[in-house]
Amino acid sequence: MRKNTGILRLMKNKIKIFRAMHNLTQEHLAQAIGVNRQTILAIEKEKYIPSLDLAFKISRYFGVNIEEVFIYDEKTPTLMPA
């Protein structure tokens, strides 16, 4: 049974921005942290939420805190008018 907590959790990230700042391709970043390029693409597109291990690896590669790259956003859904 699916548990409804009433909170919409969204994991967003700024990998694309950090990549642009460091002038990195997806391939380069993927090779540096030991994953497939498709995984970086999936994370950027928010199709896949990385594990804590991978999230730390990415943020440390850019030399910033994890919360600067990944944003954990909790929103309570508002009731839509009928």
Partner 1 sequence: MKKNTFFLIVGCIALALLLIFWYSVEIHAPLLIEIAFFVGIALVYLAKRKVTDIINDERDVKITEQATMRTMQVFWVVFCAFSIGAVMEILRVPAFPRQAIGTRPPDILPPRMMGYVQLGLLCLMIFLYVGFRIYYAKKYGDFEIDEE
Q: What is the contact surface with partner 1 in residues (CB under 8 A)? A: 25-26, 34-36, 38-39, 41-43, 45, 47-48, 50-51, 53-54
Sign of CA dihedral 27, 24, 64, 68: negative
Q: Least distance (Å) from partner 1 to the CB of residue 30? A: 8
Nearest to partner 1 of 29, 76 (CB atom): 29
Q: How far apart (Å, rounded) are the C-alpha atoms in residues 62 and 5? A: 34
Q: Least distance (Å) from partner 1 to the CB of residue 79? A: 28
Strands (E), the chain: 8-13, 70-75
Q: Least distance (Å) from partner 1 to the CB of residue 81? A: 31
